[in-house]
Amino acid sequence: MEKLCDLGFSVRLMYYEPGMAFCGIWEDGSDDYYDIGGMTSEQVLDDVPEELDQCFGISEAIADYEEEETEELTEWYKDGVEKNGLELKVE
């Protein structure tokens, strides 16, 4: 990318690495980098440029993960209550 800039080209790219939880926009030698590790889907919506989020569906993917995590925790809790003969109270 830098070599292309040195040759007079204008270079702009967007990147997203979900496994390492980072994304960004690199443009003509300037890197607008975002560490999204630990961010909620709402924080991504607030802090990451909309164009970047829409390109890769970052906040949507995190929202899906948040939903799955909540469902798994609920099932784990219910299973533990039933196995131990406890009473589950929902208020």
Q: In what order do the strands lie in the sheet with 22-27?
A: 12-17, 22-27, 30-35
Residue type, 46: D
Burial of 62 (0-12, 13-18, 19+ CB in 10 A): buried
pLDDT given for residue 72 in this prediction: 65
91, pLDDT greater than 70: no
87, pLDDT greater than 90: no
Task: Read off the tokens for 53.
Answer: 């989020």
77, pLDDT greater than 70: no
**pLDDT tens digit string along 3-44?**
999 999 999 999 999 999 999 999 999 999 999 999 999 999
Burial of 21 (0-12, 13-18, 19+ CB in 10 A): middle
What single-letter DSSP state applies at residue 24? E
